[in-house]
Structure 1
Amino acid sequence: MNDFKDKCVFVTGGAHGIGRNIVEAFRKAGARVAFCDLDRMQGEAAARDTGAAFYPADVADAAALRGVFDAVCERFGEIGILVNNAGISEFSPLADTAAEQFDRILAVNLRPVFVTAQHMAARRNTPEGKRLYGRIINIASTRWLQSEPGSEAYAASKGGIVALTHALALSFSEYNVTVNCISPGWIDNGNFGELTERDRRQHPSGRVGVPGDIARACLFLADPANDFIDGQNLVIDGGMTKKMIYVE
């Protein structure tokens, strides 16, 4: 495992699930870690368990998100590793989906990726700042290229993250910052009930994913030596998006 003891990490949506595992992974690797989340109770519990700093915030509030970013930098030094993980998944029949619901999902899932990245660029927009090490890792989803009925807003938000990632990578080309994203497939956060053998067997990998699979990928992308990986979307789905599926 890489040693990140001189690095400051900021994770959005770090109170539970994949986000919490990312927080834990970087803490175990020695990093100074802060995270934000709307869930105060779970956030405080995660902070106690991991030793990370918790900032309650709604990522859809751009001013509040920038304020947390600045507070983390003031406390720990400039954020070197930014993980945009916060997101909500609300599926509903297309005919019943209001435009306001669509906008809310994009405001939580997609816009914060731009807000945090733009703020990092603005803070570093000096000759000295542009030389600072940096990694931006955005959490998308295999829903960016696969869908089910009623998933329009979620699919749009995740597809937007993939597109925004390669755009940001080019905009950060004058900085010492790489920008990549990860698209998880089926990740078992313990919210799906008991898994069946069929659930496992349908994956070419022979199992359903776990949050640690995504956290380890974040450590890999954050490695200072991996600066030639830029603008990429790393799909972690046990091979499912490569599997031809017909109705049985």
Structure 2
Amino acid sequence: MKFKNMTVVITGAVKGIGLGLAHGYAAEGAKVVLSDREEDEGRQVEQALLQDGFSAFFTTCDVRKEEDVVHLMKFAYEKTGSIDMVINNAGVSRWKSPYELTLNEWDDVLNSNARSCFLVSREAAKYMRNAENGGSIVNLSSTRSVMSEPNSEAYAASKGAIVSLTHALAVSLGPDGIRVNCISPGWIETGQYDELTERDHAQHPAGRVGRPDDIARACFYLTDPENTFVTGSHLVVDGGMTRKMIYEE
């Protein structure tokens, strides 16, 4: 149990990758602070973890709002006594033609994805810098930070911003013993994995589509308290897809 008696704060923790992270860190002994805008689902996840004998605390948080983020960190510290790790997972997407994408929709994606990483990291760092062992922050970007499909401008821009924000924060917060890294997941199936086709799996050099636990293990590496030399890194976890040359026949 690498993370026993340590606290991890996870945003967007009630479904998909965030839910996988919550279960993964709980199983490794961490005190898990869950946050999301969906209160009913959040309470259900909290109760499920508690029933399994894990340490879990849920609070609602809209990561676009500064006051919510301030409350989240205060809540986490008061409930657990420390903030050791933060995973910035919350985010939204808009798949819409750039001719039709409104400025409000653009701002919502950038605020939900990129600005939230800054707000959460800033507020968490205020607690981490006073801790004996500092802390670790992981921002979830996307392979869409380096490659795109049509009508993904806001999402791609937000994920590219997260990569740049990560190395900037790593340099600024390093003197306080705080490490900041990011992960860019590729295709991580969060629905019915058994409904994927052989072709879905075969297009990946790794031979399969990813699962949330693949991202959890990557986060384990980046937040491992022994890995004090790992900061400012951008870890792509995509089964090799961004390294594969693709030609249309």
For this structure pair, what is the TM-score category when the shorter chain's length is used for normalisation? over 0.9
After TM superposition, give the deviation of residue 124 of structure 1 in Å. 4.7
CA distance in 2 between counterparts of 1:215 and 1:165 reads 18
Partner of 2:79: 75
Counterpart residue number, 2:142 = 141
In structure 2, C-alpha distance between the alignment counterparts of 1:54 and 1:131, rounded to whole Å: 26
Residues in 2 aligned to 1:102 and 1:18: alpha-carbon distance in whole angstroms:
23
8 Å CA contact 2:90, 2:113 repeated in 1: yes
Pair 135,144 (structure 1): closer, same or farther in 2 beyond 3 Å? same
Q: Are 1:211 and 2:212 matched, yes or no? A: yes
- The question of whether the paired residues in 2 share the 8 Å contact of 1:178 and 1:231 is answered with yes
Aligned to 1:119: 123
Tell me the SS of whatever aligns to 1:106: helix
Q: Which amino acid aligns with 1:13?
A: G
**What does 1:55-70 correspond to in 2, within 5 Å?**
55-70=59-74
Within a 5 Å distance, the mapping from 1:154-193 to structure 2 comes to: 154-190=155-191
Distance 1:130 1:57, change over 3 A: closer
How far apart, in 2, do the equivalents of 1:160 and 1:191 lie?
A: 31
Deviation at residue 32 of structure 1 after TM alignment: 0.7
Indicate the residue corresponding to 2:101 in structure 1: 97
Q: What is residue 33 of structure 2 aligned with on the other side?
A: 34
Partner of 2:53: none
Aligned-residue offset at 1:232: 0.5
Query: Which segments of 5 or more consecutive residues in structure 1 lack a partner in the other structure?
Result: none
The residue that corresponds to 2:24 in the other structure is 25
Runs of 4+ in 1 over 4 A off after TM superposition: none
Aligned residue type for 1:113: C
Q: Deviations over 1:85-108 (max 9, x none)?
A: 001122101111001100001111
RMSD: 1.5
Deviations for 1:92-141, whole angstroms, at most 9, x for unmatched residues? 0111100110000111111111111111233455xxx1643310011110
Aligned in 2, Cα 1:46/1:61: closer, same or farther, shift over 3 Å? same
Whichever residue aligns with residue 211 of structure 1, its letter is P
Q: Is the 8 A contact 1:130 1:175 kept in 2?
A: no
- Per-residue deviation at 1:238? 0.3
Shift of 1:192: 8.3
The code of the aligned residue for 2:184 comes to S
- Percent of matched pairs sharing the same residue: 43
Secondary structure of the structure 1 residue equivalent to 2:67: helix
CA-to-aligned-CA distance 1:153-192 (integer Å, 9 cap, x gap): 0001100000000000001111111100000000001168
Residue 54 (structure 1) shift? 1.0
What amino acid is aligned across from residue 80 of structure 1 in structure 2? D
Looking at structure 1, the residues matched to 128 and 207 of structure 2 have their Cα atoms a distance apart, in angstroms, of 44
SS of 2:95's equivalent in the other structure is: coil
Give the match's secondary structure for 2:174. coil
Q: How far 1:143 sits from its partner (Å)?
A: 0.3
Structure 1 residues 191 and 42: CA distance shift in structure 2, 3 A: farther
Conservation of the 8 A alpha-carbon contact between 1:18 and 1:214: yes
Q: For the Cα contact (< 8 Å) 1:199–1:208, is it kept in 2?
A: yes
Name the SS of the counterpart of 2:5 in structure 1.
Answer: coil
Does the aligned pair in 2 maintain the 1:137–1:179 contact within 8 Å? yes
- Higher mean C-alpha deviation, range 23-32 or range 129-138: 129-138
The amino acid across from 2:207 in the alignment is G
- Give 1:56 deviation, angstroms: 1.2
Aligned amino acid, residue 110 of structure 2: L
1:12 equivalent to 2:11? Answer yes
